[in-house]
Every structure is written in structure tokens, then in C-alpha cells.
Chain A
Amino acid sequence: MVNKKVFICFICLFLFLSCGKKRDAAFYEDPGKPAHGDMIITGSIGEPSNLIPILSSDSSSHEIASYIYNGLVKYDKDLNIVGDLAESWEVSKDSLTITFRLRKGVKWHDGEPFSARDVMYTYKVTIDPKTPTPYSGDFKLVKKAEMPDDHTFKVTYDKPFAPALISWSVAVLPRHLLEGKDITNSPLKRRPVGTGPFIFSEWVPGDRVILTANPDYFEGKPYIDRYMMKIIPDSATMFLELKNNSIDMMGLTPLQYVKQTDYPAFRREFNRYKYLAAAYTYIGYNLRHGFFKDKKVRQAMACAINKQEIIDGILLGQGVEATGPFKPDMWAHNGNVKRYEYNPERALALLKEAGFERGTDGVLRKNGAPFEFTILVNQGNTVRIQSAELIQRRLSAVGITMKIRVLEWATLVNDFIDKRNFEAVLLGWTIPNDPDPFDVWHSSKQGPKELNFTSFENREVDEVLVKARHTLDRPERKKCLDRFQEILAEEQPYTFLFVPYSTVALHKRFKAVEPAPAGIMYNFIKWYVPENQVRYKSNAAISR
């Protein structure tokens, strides 16, 4: 009997504890005044692996590291390069030398002063053959690195190198804690020390990572006191936690953005933001394969595929058509290239020019061989798989048989792409903010494990890419890149499908959030929660 009473008490306690969260509709609409305090909780599918950024390649490690460390330069909201740890920089007349003037008075989180020696250490450890970093490529081009004084850092290149400046946006590591030690065994990989706006506080393995605002940050202390990354490996669970108000920010799928979050209770608590993601999805053809050698066939493919249908049907409208390898809001984008509207008749006409005949059974044949191919897609990416299914239907309407094969990522890359053992793939590229398409499109990059796996070769493209790469003058560089995009649009080595929107839900109590080409996180330290809307008041969750 007693047990029963205790049990009922517990239930009541549960109910009591969970009451009192509801607010009236306009509560969060008041922008209030900037104030310090509160905590932001984000969800992450994967756990960070290593918080020394040159050693890790997963996105959650890099996300945490971006709050802890600074580079010499960074991108502003419109993707222009601005100073970060470097106050200013000069590029010499011959475009070979960059001299960085570093900020004075910057301190590491442990109180040690920051100086050019830290930059030198970061450069040296990155190119050290003993460091297992995948990111040494850009730094290998440096001919000479010098530090004339404690707050000046000078690098010299063999040739002018356009992406040189932004390659110095990598996180600068604390020399005083790492020099002379084995970086792979450093405690810093789980307890990082940086110069950034947030200080590492706690990492509960498999559960959460907590950062606290850096009161001495050189751009001012962030308004939000604490940042917590909660590790939730299942995306359905993460969405429930968002609806339950247990996390404050989460990237949404198109379905979640358009349908599943469109109800009053959710809109009362959350703002939804969207901006163009830095990525595009494409069909890549093996240009050494029979049918796809012919430019007309590739152009016909572009006409036979209805891109808008994919965007409307699968992304539920959350994307724009792609015409080339850059996204429309970048300076490098060329909006005047040749476009291929959805037009099956034109596709058929082009295929006829290429020598295909449509038989009475509706199948396209060239010299008796039917137009048949297999497209490879990676497992787990529903958007790509569904896109392939829509494309399959559109192609069968003009008499092309396309088979879809879904493969695990590592198998797809190692056994098919690396061995050039494919006809077509449906994949995506992320678009780097600095437009240097050299690695994907230059004909010299066709070796094993290199990225021009479709074997694209075009002499003019090679020329303009090399020129763009070694030109620091932006209008000049844009001219080269514009020409490059024109040729791609004509040649259609890829069928560029779409650039999706990134869609994010963020709790309404966070103010000063302004979506821009760079996303929303670029002014994170300026976000604030008005005093009356603060949710996490105490220092809870910090067990230091």
C-alpha cells in the first residue's frame, strides 16, 4: 500500500516538474535589449573526434573548433575576406609575398600572449611529415615563412596563388602548449586552448560538449554565456528534442521545414531561417564511356531532365536550379551561361543528331545498341536516391533506360569511382567559398584518388583555371572563371541539378540573427537573449 502511495507521489512530481513552460504567443516577439547570459543548445548527429582541427575531418569537430580558435583571416557575412587574428595584410606587387600584421594584446585562453611564433608553429606542424593531417596541401606551396618581429608574419610563394590568402584562415594553434610534443597525443585534442570567442569547458563523451564565453575576447565577450553541443545520433530523436524545446537549433530537412514544423505551437517558439547551402548536386558522366563521349548526348540529357520538378517534388521547393559549379550568390557565379530548359523534343532532336534512332518499341538505339546505362548513388542520401528515380522516369519518356544502383559510400568511392568503373554518378560537391575549381576540372587531376574522376579534358579550361589560380586581382580572376563556366555550360560534362537551401530552426529568444550568404553563424558572438526571455539562468551544466 505504501509503495502505491510513493508511486503516485512520483507520478505527481513528474507532472509537476514538467508544467509551466507555456508562454503566450507574443512573448518572444519583443526584441528587448542585448544582455549577457543564457545558453544555446545545438544538436549534432556525430560526436566530435579531435578538437585540434588540423587532425580531424568531421564536421562536428570543426564546428566546435570554429568557436575556440581563430585564423589569421576569415570570411565576413558576404564572403569577403577580412582580418581575424591579423589586423591587416599586404600583398607585394609581384603577388608573391603576403605580410600579415597581427593583433596585439590577444591572449590564449590560459593567459599566455599570442604572437607570430604561434603562427609559425602552426605552419610548421602542418607541413611536418609526422603529422597525420589531410590539410597540408595549401601550405606546401609556401616557399618561405618568416617572422620579422613578434607581430608580423610573412609568407612567400613560388608563383602567385589566388587561394593563398584564405588558406591562412586555418586555426592557429598554441605553440607554448604543443611545441616539442607529439601533437597526436596532446591533451589539447580533448581539452583545446584557443584564442576564440568561447573557452572549452567540458566534454562528456558520447553526450555533450560545453563551451563558455571568453570574457577577454578581442572582439568583445559574446552575449550568450554558454554553448552546448548535445550529441543525438538519431535525426528523428533530434527532431523530437527540438519540438520538446530541449535543443535550440537544428538543421531541418525540406519535409520538416515545409510541413512538420508549420504549426502554431512550433512557430510560437521557433524562427525558421533559410539560405543557399554551399553545395550542389549533379550527375557526373564518365566521359570515356561510349555514349557520353559525345557532347550532344550530354546536352540532350540536360534537356530531358526536369530540374524544377526535382526541386519542387523532392526538395519541396527548397532549392534553386544549378547552372554551374558555383552558387548564385557568389561573386564568381556567371549567370549568363547557356541554359537547358526541360524540353524532351529538343533532347530527342539532339540525340538524333548524335546518331540515335527511336525504334517502334520506343527505345533509342545507335547502331543497334540500346541507350542504357547505370547511375550510381550513395546509400543513405534520400534526396539523391529520389532524384535519381524522377530522372529515371523522365529519361524513359525519351527512350533511355537508366538503372539505379545504390552503394555504400566507401564502396562507391573505392571500387567504382577510383577505378573509373562507372557510367554515371549522382553526387554532390560542397562549394568552397574561395572559387578554385582546379582540383575537380583540370585535366592533370585524373590520377587515382584525384577528383577529376569524370576524365574531363579541355585545353581552354585548363588554361583559364591555371590563370585564375595565379591571379590575385579579382576582376581578372572573375573573367577567367566566367569563361570556365561558359565552357562547362556548353560541354555539359555534368548535368548540374540544384543548389539546395539550408533550412534551420532556431529558438525565438535568440535575437540579432541575420541570414546572409555566409549562413547565420557568422555573427554568433553578437546574438543575445533579452533578460526577461532567458531560459537557462544558473551556471547549470558547467561542472568545472
Chain B
Amino acid sequence: MLRYLVKRLFFMIPMVFGITLISFAVIHLVPGEPGMLEAEMNPKVTKEARERIRAIYGLDKPLHVQYWTWLKRIVRLDFGTSFATDRRPVMDKIKERLPITIVINLLAMGLIFIFGIPIGIYCARYKDTIMDKLLTSFVFAGYAAPTFWVALLAMIFFGVYLELFPVSGIKSYDYGEMNVFEKIFDISRHLVLPVCISAVGSLAGISRYMKNSLLEVLRQEYITTAYAKGLPESMVLKKHALRNALLPVITILGLSVPGLIGGSVIFESIFSIPGMGQLFYSSVMARDYPTIMGILVIGAFLTLIGNLVADVSYAVADPRIRIG
């Protein structure tokens, strides 16, 4: 087992570098350069100033030299300074945006599992009933409807019309004056819409997985045996069927790890949530290479870790993988 783990970890190193090399190349192929996009076609910006800024950013050097400089820093875990005009360390920018994205994604994921799994179980147990069809249509409607549209409808209904929840943002204007309980209450009020709406779109996936894998298990002969020995239905479902059916669902968890840090741009923009999605989008639009690369490296690393965790849990569960 340990050997397997070490082997997998070892293979991750060239993967990470491969990913960075490709992303670095792709990012530099895109037309436009950092710091200058807004100054493009601006009469007050002279050509000399433009050249000077390129030299300050090191953009006048050949691409492989730029990559090498970047690589030398990254092995020391130094993500460098942003090329955006704020010139802040990339790490600070990521740190200040990561928590809110993780909180929302964790809450949404919790909701997805809390609602998705029971829906899946219900649909498998009462397959082809009206309720099953209704639930299935609902989750697929949620999946098919564009998030921004659902979000805007919810904002108009709950925010503007009912005035139940705030339309956007994560804190009220008078947040600074509140006591701890009011603060928690305020933030949860702001989080209701974003969390619910980001969960609605993903219910379909998890409930389908659950339904299919449970149906699969229910067809097995040992289930028939369980019924035959006179167990009540709830017992058959809980004790025998569900355990086995949950395995594939749990591996999805491992694969969702990288998703935790990547926010959705559209979604974060609509709700004005200062999260990772927006940071990534704005750095791409500003050609802020260090920030783009920083987020990509962290994302790539987490994806690989997620895959590893998933593989290891397979291996723990299934000896065939461990040995092969």
C-alpha cells in the first residue's frame, strides 16, 4: 500500500510541471499584455511609457527566460507579485478570497448531499411513480436552467419583491456595528440565496448517481435473500442496500476537492461575492500572469490530490486495484 502511495506521489511531480508549462505557454499566446489593457488606445499613454512598463514586468525577455524565472520562484513557494496595477503579492490576493469561496462551496456541497441522496433513494425505491417523475423533472430542470437566470429570478422575487433576503454581497452596511450573533445572522441571511442556488444546479448529478447505484444494488440476489428471510423493508434498504450503493457516491466526494476552491465567475459576479472565480476571471482579463499561474498551480495540485484520495479510497475498498 505504502509503495503504491509513494509511486503515485512521485508521478505527480512531472504532472504538475507539465500543467504549469502548458498553462504558461497558453496564457502568453493570448494577445494583449498586463498592465496595459486599459491604457490601450489611450492618448495620454506614450510609447516610451509602454516600453518602460514592459521592462519593469520583465516582458521584454524571451518566453523561456520568463518561465525559468517564474519556476525558480515557485519551487520556493513564492507566487510572486501581481502584474495588476495593485502590485500585491499573489498569495495575499488568493488568501483574502479563498475563505468565502470554500465556505459557500462546502455549504452548497452539504446541501447537495443532504437533499440529493434522499431524493435519489426515494426515486429508486418508488421508481416510476408520479413522485419519482416529478422529482426527476425538478432536479433536471434545476440542472438545465442557466444559473444566472435562476439567480436573477430568485433575487427579484426574494430580494426586491418580498424583501426577504439581500440581493447581493455578503455583509450589510452596518456590519461593523453588530454583535457576534447579529453578525452571524447577517452573513447567513446573505448566504441563503447563493448557497441554495448553487446547490440546485448540482442536485441532478448526485441524485442520479444515488438512484442508479441503488437500483443496481436492489437487483442483486442478496437483497432478494434479505427480503426472503423476512426483514422489514426499511431494514433491507438501510442495512444491506444503502451501504453498498453509497460507495460510488463517496468517491465523487474525492473528485469534488478541486471544485472547492474554484468559484464560478457568473455566479460570483451576480451575487457580488468576492471569491476565487472573480479573481481568476479578472486576472485573465487583465493578463495578470503571476495571479493566473498561482491559481492554476493551486488548482492543479488540488486536482491531483483529489484524484489521489479517490484512487486510494478505491484501493482501500478494492484489493484488485491495490495489487495491480
Contact = CB atoms under 8 A, between A and B. Distances in A.
Given A132-B56, A138-B44, A234 B269 contact: yes
A451 B270 contact: no
B31 interface: yes
Contact of B40 (A14, A236, A246, A413): A413
Contacts of B85: 49-50, 55-58, 61
A415 B32 CA distance: 9
Interface stretch (B121-129, B156-164, B228-236, B293-301): B156-164
A230 B166 CA distance: 14
A432 interface: yes
B171 interface: yes
B159 A244 contact: yes
A18 interface: yes
Given A14-B164, A55-B85, A538-B174, A413 B41 contact: yes
Interface stretch (B47-55, B204-212, B253-261, B313-321): B47-55
A58 B274 contact: no
Contacts of A234: 168, 269-270, 272
B interface: dominant SS:
loop
B176 A542 contact: yes
Interface in A44-80: 46-47, 49-50, 55-58, 61
A541 B176 contact: yes
Contacts of A189: 86-87
Interface string B32-68: 1001111111111111111011001100000000000
Interface in A229-262: 230-234, 236-237, 240-241, 243-244, 246
A395 interface: no
B155 to A, nearest CB: 5
Contacts of B170: 207
A411 interface: yes
A237 B96 CA distance: 23
B291 interface: no
A228 interface: yes
Contacts of B53: 132, 134
B87 A134 contact: no
Interface string A162-187: 00000000000000000000001100
A449 B49 contact: no
Interface of A: 11, 14-15, 18, 21, 39, 41, 46-47, 49-50, 55-58, 61, 129-130, 132-138, 140, 184-185, 189-190, 204-207, 228, 230-234, 236-237, 240-241, 243-244, 246, 409-411, 413-415, 417, 427, 432, 439-440, 447-451, 536, 538-543
Given A207-B169, A230-B169, A237-B167, 13 more contacts: A49-B85, A132-B53, A135-B49, A137-B49, A189-B87, A204-B171, A206-B96, A206-B274, A207-B170, A230-B272, A237-B155, A237-B168, A244-B160
Closest 9 interchain pairs by CB?
Answer: A206-B274, A410-B32, A540-B174, A543-B176, A18-B163, A134-B45, A137-B46, A414-B31, A233-B269
15 contacts: A39-B173, A46-B282, A57-B38, A134-B44, A189-B86, A230-B169, A233-B269, A233-B278, A234-B270, A236-B152, A237-B167, A237-B272, A410-B30, A447-B47, A449-B50
Interface of B: 30-32, 35-50, 52-53, 56-57, 84-88, 96-97, 148, 152, 155-156, 159-160, 162-171, 173-177, 189, 268-275, 278-279, 282, 287
